Structure formats: structure tokens, C-alpha cells
Amino acid sequence: MTYIVFSFDTEDYVNPQAADGILNCANILKDEGVRGCFNIVGKLAEALVKWGRQDIIDALKYHEIDLHSYAHSWHPTINEYTDIEDFEEAKSRFFDNEKKARAITSDIFGVDYFPAACPPGASTSYVAHYGYAEMGVPIYCGDDLQDAVRGRNVWSCNILSTDYHLYLDRYLIGATKEVLDAKFESVAAEKDVYVLAHHPQMAIIDEFCDIVNFFGKNTPEAEWKLSKPKTKEDTAKFYENFTYLVKKIKADPRFKIVTYSELADMYCKDKRTLKIEEIPGIKAQLNELFFPVTTPDSYCITDIFLACRDFLLGKASHECGFVYGFLNTPYAADKEITVTVEEMKESAKAIADVGNYFLPEKFTVGSYDVGPADWLRAALEILCGADKTVIKPASWQIDMDQFPRVRDLNLKGSWVHSESFEDKYITDRFRLQSWTYRLAKGTKRTIY
């Protein structure tokens, strides 16, 4: 079974005529009894009221309403205003914007739960991951954190990240029914979750409003330019193929159309408890590959680290909850160090409160400084019965080759950002959260 999500980045608050694209998609789906997921920009919700489009607001009430930031590409964007050293200040700025977006959207559409949030273009921010998770949003859709196997789910910074696997905007204008048939034969064979993304305005107009008006800087509202319309032929072709695709997927028993809320119910509701008797098996998996564990349950590296701390303090189980990575590159031992069980237990007392915030970059064990990965590997040895163990130089980082988009991420110079955007912290700190990444229970751990 492949789960299909129809996800709409509903964002154009500049072009009133483009709003018809929202209504068209909403109605086509409803006619087939299918609920789509409409990720609404706060300023667009306000614009729909200003434009008198109660018809669109009413039509969307059949569907799932999700978040897509307050102002999308209006500067400063999420990345721009969170690219600062002080995480608490960055998160405060995020909440100022995104809680406002939530309140506006909730008021206009009459909903109080948002199952997903979508970052505006090229705006991957570790602050947004943590912030939306604290706001009670379980899924971050269209994210840069992608796994290379079967479109698997990946958790990061306490929120489930899903990819946008196929953008329909231009694809459906150029595709034939034969191309669509062949494409979804491969989807059924290769993917567990497959997200079809569309910007509703792009069936009506020929260019994104932010490229026309917010390319690197803000155009004052009085000077906003309207995007050119698509040809009638292209618009008609899009909706012909969109209708065909919805009917095709709905009728195929290999697919099940779901919303983000349904994905959250499937993947985000289970409580996870790590028990001390699981440690030998977890240690074997980490010795094989320093990477999130999927057996007997889904555990990120921070889960395992905090569990080892609890076990050294005498507890028999650890309730997994919110986790954090690092704000700065963690220390790693550069020589062999021998530590004893007594020294490790004593060090665990000193780090008893780290579970509620970012992990420290360095610890003291006995008379030595060690890094978090050093400490974790030593703790696993001690918990498996060793009286003492030798810490050997090794990398703290997980295998980032399995997340190539994050490994190679460089947001500096992206079209959506202003020239003043420096990317001092956003990209590097997203990689520093890798200890919070985890995969679904029972899934394959490698792409190789």
C-alpha cells in the first residue's frame, strides 16, 4: 500500500485572479470525495477576506487546513529572522510570526488543530522545526530532510518530516495520460508515502508572485505587480490531467489517499519507552553503523543518550519525549581514554538535566574531557557489563550520506533570501540536530 497525499502550498496573496486555482482544486477533489491538504499562508487568509472570496473559504472547510508561515517570501523570511546565535531569541521571533499566522487561519477557517506546516520556499530552519513541534504541529511537509529509501518518514527536532515527491504545477500541463499511468506504476512499486504537491495559483498564472515582487527584497504593496495569466489551453490541460489523476489514484487499490492528519495518527501517536534490556541490541546496531536505531523501536541518538544517562542513575526504563541536538559542534576525544563504571555513573549525575534542552558539547569523566559520542559509546559498554572501557577517537556525527540534501545543504544565495542573509547558523545548525533524526520502527537503516 502506498499512501498518497494531495498537498497544496496555498500562498499567493498578490494576484486576486489566481485564487480561482484554490477553488478549482478544492472542488475537483470534493467531487471525488477526496480531502486535500491546503497549507495556508496567513497573509493569503487575510487576502481572501479582503477580496470577498467567501466561496473559497467555504470550499476549503471540506479539506484539511495546514500552515504555510505568516508571510511566505516577504522579508525577513523565517530563515532570515532566525539566523542568529541566540536560539531562544530566534524561537521568540518565530513564535511572534507563526502564532499570529495560526490565530488568523484558525479564526478565518474555524479550525484549532493544524496537522502540518510547510516551510516557505528554501526556508529550512531548525528553529521552525522545534517551534512548530512546540506549537503541537506533528508534521513538517515539503522539508529538506529527506531519506533516500521509499519516501520513508524521518523525524527531526521532534517533528515528522515528509518530502514533496512530485510537483504537479508544470508536470500536469506537459504530461499525457500514458505518462501518468507509467509514472504511478513506479510509485506503487517504490514508495510507501508519496506526496503530490501543487501551488494552486500556478494553474492560472505563469509566474510566482514572490519572484515578481519579493526577489531578494520587498516591493511595497502599492507597487505590487500582477503575474501574467497562463494560456487557456494550459489551464484547461492542467485541470483535465488533475481530474484524471485524482480518479486514477482513487480507483487503484494499491493506493490510499490520506491527509497529514491521518499520517500523524499512523506515525506520531505511539509512546516510546526504551528499556535497559534493549541496550545490548542497540549497542550492536550502533557498532555496525552509528545511525538511528529502528529495532526494537524507533530511537534517535539523543533518545539513546538520555536513556543511558537514566540507566546509569539506576532507572530501568526511559520515556522518550522531546529531544535536542547541539548548538555548536560537539567535542570528540583525540586520544584513547580509559574510564571506569564509577566515573561514568558520577558523570551521569552531572548531566541529569540535559534532557530538556540542547546537549552540552563536552563532558568530564574522571579527569578527562570527552565528547557526547565518546560518553555514549562508553556508557553502552558499561551498561553491557564492562567494569571499565577505553574510549577511542571516533566521529560524533551520524552517517549523513543517507540524508544527502541535508549533508549538502547551503542556503546562502538562494533566490528567496535577501542579499544581506549570511546563513551564519541556519544550515550548520540543521546538521547539528542530526542526533534528533529517527526513522520508523522496523524499517531498513541503510540506503546501501
At residue 148, the pLDDT reads 65
What's the pLDDT tens digit per position in 411-433?
887 888 898 999 999 999 999 99
At residue 153, the pLDDT reads 80
- Residues 324, 430: contact at Cβ < 8 Å? no
Which residue has 577511542 as its cell numbers?
A: 392
Please state the separation of Cα 237 from the chain's center in Å. 32
Closest C-alpha to 120, from 220, 202, 9: 9
From residue 357, give the alpha-carbon distance in Å to each of 113, 262, 271, 302: 26, 30, 20, 11
What's the pLDDT tens digit per position in 43-59?
999 999 999 999 999 99
From residue 97, give the alpha-carbon distance in Å to each of 105, 142, 367, 426, 440: 12, 20, 46, 18, 31
Pairing of strands 154-156, 438-439: antiparallel
At residue 124, the pLDDT reads 84
- Residues 80, 108: contact at Cβ < 8 Å? no
At residue 150, the pLDDT reads 66
Q: Which residue ranges of the chain lie beneath pLDDT 50?
A: none
Distance, in Å, from the CA atom of 279 to the CA atom of 385, rounded to the nearest integer, reads 11
Closest C-alpha to 97, from 48, 135, 143: 135
Q: How is the chain split among helix, strand and coil, in percent rounded to 5?
A: 45, 15, 40
Which residue has 536560539 as its cell numbers?
A: 87
Closest C-alpha to 300, from 441, 424, 201: 441
